[in-house]
Amino acid sequence: MLDFAGNIADADFQLFDFLHRGHCFYDGKAQYGDDEFGRGNFYAQIILKPAVFKDIPRKFRRFGLPAEIFIEFLKTNKPCDFAFIQTVMTYWYLGYEEAVRALKMYWPGTTIVLGGPYTQICPRHARNLGCDFIWGDKELDVCFRTKDIALPRWDLYSSPKTAAMKITQGCPFKCTYCAVPIFNRGFAAKPHDKVIQELKFLISLGIKNIAFYDDSLLHKADEILKPFLRYVVENKISAAFHTPNALNARFIEEELADLMVKAGFKTFYLGFESSADEFQKQTGAKVFDSEFARAAECLRKAGADRKNICAYLILGHPKFEIQHIEESLGYVSSIGVRTMLADFSPIPGTEDGKLCEKYVDMNEPLLHNKTVFPIIIYGVDKVNRIKDLCRSLNKRI
């Protein structure tokens, strides 16, 4: 039973995670081993390429645990009253469809609820997958803003090594390529005591690597992040923190950088996108090159490992003519920072998604695929040339 504040009463849960790398399926398979921060590869199968990709010179893969393992899970467990399917990327919908199909076959009396970004961005498309209900992120936004926030159920995993946290929700910026304004009404933060309670819970489970998936982790840092960092430092919490969802370099100053390093932040991914001022101005003015350079220097001065400071640059943006991506790669390298190319995914409901309508059918979520869109924009030869340049420059750092 769920009430509208997000509390859970009289409910037993079973969890199946297709992307759970701690599953026994991976035992003894060296190619899927963890790196120093618990990261690694997922099992993947090459499958038949959908017709919309016939002109894309790439193999099409299904990532995650094999379908047979999920079917065995359904066969050997008592059917649940409700099955909640978490979605993420819109172009992963074939996987959601696979899960719905299996649930209908093996647990025919179960009510299927689909939720997450895909359902919010493509609600009409999501309704055609055969689920019973769609749970949008607007409901989750309401829950986040209450003081009665339930702990995330990381305890449903057996001996988890890594976990994700969010201590804020939403973003004050309105970048033209970003879906965050679709999901959230403004910016909000969890109460500090709830954040500490969640941290203690993760540590009690033996989790050593925690990734922050906040959209604007550093916004209002004096009020939100810095008290968290001071708590971690003062209480000698032993954990490694990571920032895969990108940090806004504009907010990084000496005190914040010092606190983050002392608290145990190990990887710093900075959103940069381009060194071209005109591109930044037209896409949200999130950060300019001088601000980015200052942030990188603050992190190095604080003791961050140089090899773990990385800049995201968009590859395949529809305004590629003013992005100057090769020059941007050179600029990032010149200040001693590695680059990770973030393949552009066109998102319906965003300003830049509208620009993409002249390249792809935005009503087909498969064409939101971030591997495909840069090839459509640049062609495969230029994409490969840009990626080769990125690898070459990174080797110098």
- Amino acid letter, 155: D
pLDDT at 162 over 50: yes
User: Do 182 and 351 touch, CB atoms closer than 8 A?
Assistant: no
Per-residue pLDDT for 10 more than 50?
Answer: yes
**How many residues belong to the chain?**
397
Lowest mean pLDDT among 23-27, 157-161, 225-229, 309-313: 157-161
Per-residue pLDDT, 9: 53
* Residue at 139: amino acid letter: E
Predicted local confidence at residue 87, as pLDDT: 95
pLDDT at 365 over 90: yes
- What is the per-residue pLDDT across 187-200, written as a single tens digit (0 to 9) for each? 999 999 999 999 99
**Confidence at 141, pLDDT banded by 50, 70, 90:** very low
Name the pLDDT band for 255 (thresholds 50, 70, 90). very high
Task: Name the least confident of 113-117, 136-140, 350-354.
Answer: 136-140
Q: Average pLDDT of 47-64?
A: 96
pLDDT at 392 (0 to 100)? 96
Please give the average per-residue pLDDT across 27-40, as a whole number: 93
Q: What is the pTM of this model?
A: 0.90
Q: Which domains, ranges and CATH numbers included, belong to the chain? A: 151-397 (3.20.20.70)
Per-residue confidence (pLDDT) for residue 284, from 0 to 100: 67
6 confidence band (pLDDT: 50, 70, 90): very low
Q: Which has the closest alpha carbon to 367: 6, 17, 56?
A: 56
Residue 288, classed as helix, strand or coil, is: coil
Q: What is the pLDDT of residue 12?
A: 87
Q: With cut-offs at 50, 70 and 90, classify the pLDDT of residue 175.
A: confident
Q: Which residue has the higher pLDDT, 325 or 253?
A: 253
- Find the mean pLDDT for residues 77-89: 95
Question: Residue 321 and residue 318: Cα distance in Å, rounded?
Answer: 8
Q: How confident is the model at residue 280 (pLDDT cuts 50, 70, 90)?
A: confident
Q: Which residue from 21, 142, 143, 12 is spatially nearest to 78, judged by alpha carbons?
A: 12
| 330 has pLDDT over 60 | yes
- Identify the residue whose tokens are 């994700």: 164
At residue 337, the pLDDT reads 96
Task: Round to whole Å and give the CA distance between 113 and 96.
Answer: 11
On the CB side of 155, CA atoms within 13 Å amount to 12
> pLDDT confidence of 227, banded at 50, 70, 90?
very high
Q: Is the pLDDT of residue 178 over 90?
A: no
* pLDDT for the residue 8: 53
Give the chain's largest Cα–Cα span.
60
- pLDDT-derived band of residue 1, with 50, 70 and 90 as boundaries? very low
Structure confidence at residue 48 (pLDDT)? 96
DSSP H helices, 93-191, are: 93-106, 117-121, 123-126, 137-144, 180-183
User: Would you say the C-alpha torsion 269, 275, 277, 283 has a positive or negative sign?
Assistant: negative
Report, as an integer, the average pLDDT of 355-382.
95
Work out the pLDDT band at 225, boundaries 50, 70, 90: very high
Cα dihedral 342/344/347/350 (nearest 10) = 90
Q: What is the pLDDT of residue 180?
A: 87
As a whole number of angstroms, the distance between CA 132 and CA 98 comes to: 15
pLDDT, average across residues 175-185 = 85
> Which H helix or E strand runs over 35?
none
Task: Count Cβ neighbours within 10 Å for each residue of 30-41 and write b for 16 or more, e otherwise.
Answer: eeeeeeebbeee
3-state secondary structure of 385: helix
Q: Which letter does DSSP use for residue 26 in this model?
A: G
Mean pLDDT of all residues belonging to the chain: 90
pLDDT of the residue at 136: 60
- 81: Cα within 13 Å, side-chain hemisphere: 6
